[in-house]
Amino acid sequence: MDYAIRTEGLTKTYGPRAAVKDLSLEVPVGSVFGFLGPNGAGKTTTIRMLLGLVRPTSGTATVMGVDVSRQRSKLSSLVGAIVEVPAFYMHLSGAENLRAMALSAGRELPRAESDRLLEQVGLSHDGKRAVKQYSLGMKQRLGLAVALMGDPPVLFLDEPTNGLDPDGAREIRELIVSLRQAGRTLFVSSHLLQEVERFCTDVAIVQNGELRIQGPVETLLASRGIELRVSSMDRARAILNLPAAQEAQGAGPGWVLTEGADSAVPATLRKLLQADVDVFEVRPKRSSLEQLFFEATAAAQGGLRQ
């Protein structure tokens, strides 16, 4: 497995407090990696270290094989980032802003390239309008166009949908998926677990600067049994040998939960139907990131949280 980003024991302390503690991350090439955690968990500090903006207190981090502390000068061609909505020249157009930003970074941006960047972020038709007329979502997309200058293989987006309305957030999500399809790796920090579940391929959950869980979304949220909505819960439980009072784990009244894999569905249905128990719905019980997060953080707090 090739990793676009890898950290080992990454730590940043401010005075007596550790903002990030002993963090070891593995971000596969071509993934959309959700970096999740509540406010103050250490997400921004981690991103700043990975961008070479903050020096780690200890530990190592590489981006596309480049050590972020020792080879900082090589990082700029490898990464693009939006850490906050960038400060634009409000009276200039989107295209003019891109050219101005490129100039301030010491290079001329050919017209064809600014057109291509605007197209990539869905701003082709608005490139000539002044940025002061842009919505927050459009400004965020223009920020992404800035991050995409030089075509870096890795993009860092810190809370990219913060403050956006549902339409703006959806546009950013679609953009993230299309940027990944072009072969990039996207490292996306967020505290919005439900939202991230929709587009991330991999996630890490951090809390108080420490890693709680990481892995591919598909594996982490794998099926945890089968839920069936039946005409008689008592009889279904007796036939399937399920413990009584199982509602707490199931989806509520009328539903029973079996531990079988998806492949056990036909045999389970046959047993119930042969015993005259009607089955109205069958579905795999999947975990959600939210559930995973509460389980992971509760374990760290000695099981205090449900």
Please list every residue from 42 through 101 that binds ligand ATP, using CB under 6 A: 42-45
Tell the smallest beta-carbon distance from residue 152 to ligand ATP (Å): 22
Tell the smallest beta-carbon distance from residue 41 to ligand ATP (Å): 4
Q: Judged by CB, which is closer to ligand ATP: 14, or 89?
A: 14
Residue 274 CB: number of other CB atoms within 10 A?
9
Q: Judged by CB, which is closer to ligand ATP: 61, or 236?
A: 61
Tell me the number of residues near ligand ATP by CB under 6 A.
11
Q: Judged by CB, which is closer to ligand ATP: 40, or 65?
A: 40
Tell the smallest beta-carbon distance from residue 186 to ligand ATP (Å): 17
Structure tokens at 265: 């569905």
Q: Judged by CB, which is closer to ligand ATP: 4, or 41?
A: 41
Q: Judged by CB, which is closer to ligand ATP: 10, or 121?
A: 10
Q: Judged by CB, which is closer to ligand ATP: 13, or 60?
A: 13
Strand ordering across the sheet containing 279-284: 255-258, 226-230, 279-284
Site of tokens 């579940």: 197
Tell the smallest beta-carbon distance from residue 76 to ligand ATP (Å): 22
Contacts of 273 (CB under 8 A, 6+ apart): 279
Tell the smallest beta-carbon distance from residue 68 to ligand ATP (Å): 16
DSSP string over 48-95:
HHHTTSS--SEEEEEETTEETTT-GGGTTTTEEEESS-----TTSBHH
Please list every residue from 11 through 50 that binds ligand ATP, using CB under 6 A: 14, 19, 37, 39-45
Find out whether 209 and 10 touch, Cβ atoms under 8 Å. no
Tell the smallest beta-carbon distance from residue 39 to ligand ATP (Å): 3
Radius of gyration of the chain (CA): 24
Site string for ligand ATP, 195-214 (x = CB under 6 A): --------------------
Q: Give strand pairing partners of 35.
A: 189, 204
Q: How would you classify the pairing of strands 32-36 and 185-190? A: parallel
Residues lying near ligand ATP in the complex (CB under 6 A): 14, 19, 37, 39-45, 191
